[in-house]
Amino acid sequence: MISDITTARDAALADIAQADSPDAVAAMTTRYAGKKGELAGLKKQLGSLESIDAKKEAGAAINAAMAAIDAALERRRTAVAADAIRIQVEAERIDLTEYLGKPKRGHAHLVTQAWERLEDVFVGLGFRVAEGPEVETDWHNFEALNMPIGHPARGEWDTLFVDHVPPEGEAGTTVLRTHTSPVQIRTMLDEEPPIRIIAPGRVFRRDTPDATHMPVFHQIEGLVIDRDISMADLAGTIDAFTKAFFGKGWNSRLRPSYFPFTEPSAEFDIQRPDGSWIELGGSGMVHPNVLRAGGVDPEEWSGFAFGFGIDRMAIMRHGVADIREMFSDDLRFVEQF
């Protein structure tokens, strides 16, 4: 009997040593420590032993074997539980160490880059950055710019009207600004001359997108009001800007044109170092009616204004064939700039 006990104990201990999960330890507990275990079976056979001494000896051996098995099970249980925690921690671990490879960095979009560089260059020339709302009144967008209701030139700006009646206005008097020129009016009403501002921003026109048009695009406005400002100041400023922004080899010129809010008016073109010309935008001397709408006395002050498309300038500068590419979110395009 003693050898049966020893064999059963050793087999149990060997098996328990293999248990590698809480479930396996639980199964072995039932198998070796429970009432239906092998040693429990041997215990029941104690009665069949002849001598008291043999019973005592076998009983003590069974108790010692059970104690060894309980201790082994307990050790296994602790070890397996620690393992389980270690495995879980490993699985849920978050790597907070710094990435030491070469991470791929994003960059500002071409339009944003152009916008920011324009601001830098004009600020360098002494301008301040001004802003106005994208949802604008008909008055600021047209009327104050010398285009009363019914003025034929309004047709040049395909306007998106907003279905909103401001407290002081009438139906159909709220628009999405069609150009940045209303910022001229807002600035003049807000501050006293002398004024030197640029106003970059988003503008809207009821256009179907094609290679050269987008219904939403960006313009930058310039306005200078001071005493004795002349067309020569406009030409000089445009040329200084052209050289500062595009480079020393670039030139500019003014060409007679017409805008209701400037008189005289001029388109301005810039010339690449290879001699070819690019039409950039509109400009002129601020019309006396516009100065008056802005609360500025035309007898005392004069000024010039200019405006051009930021996106248009960027696509011409980089030779992009289709303006829609600018807003496609296509990384193959975006990553080139």
Round to whole Å and give the CA distance between 185 and 179.
Answer: 12
Which DSSP category does 161 fall into? B
Round to whole Å and give the CA distance between 308 and 319.
Answer: 17
Residue 245 in contact with ligand PHE, rule: CB under 6 A: no
Choose the stretch contacting ligand PHE; rule: CB under 6 A; options: 51-59, 227-235, 279-287, 288-296: 279-287
User: How many residues belong to the site for ligand PHE (CB under 6 A)?
Assistant: 12
CA distances from residue 156 to 178, 205, 258 in whole angstroms, order as listed: 10, 10, 12
CA distances from residue 261 to 42, 143, 228, 251 in whole angstroms, order as listed: 112, 10, 19, 26
Binder of ligand PHE out of 141, 174, 181, 302 (CB under 6 A): 181
Binder of ligand PHE out of 144, 305, 310, 323 (CB under 6 A): 305
Residue 274 Cβ vs ligand PHE, minimum distance, rounded to whole Å: 27
Binder of ligand PHE out of 142, 259, 268, 301 (CB under 6 A): 259
Do residues 287 and 166 lie in contact, with contact meaning Cβ atoms separated by under 8 Å?
no
Cβ nearer to ligand PHE, comparing 8 with 305:
305
Residue 175 Cβ vs ligand PHE, minimum distance, rounded to whole Å: 13
Cβ nearer to ligand PHE, comparing 252 with 262:
262
Cβ nearer to ligand PHE, comparing 61 with 323:
323
* Token pair listed for 48: 């069949």
Residue 99 Cβ vs ligand PHE, minimum distance, rounded to whole Å: 47
CB proximity list for 146: less than 8 A, separation 6 or greater:
260, 261, 287, 289, 290, 293
Cβ nearer to ligand PHE, comparing 13 with 235:
235
Do residues 160 and 176 lie in contact, with contact meaning Cβ atoms separated by under 8 Å?
yes
> Where on the chain is the footprint of ligand PHE (CB under 6 A)?
179, 181, 221, 259, 262, 281-284, 305-307
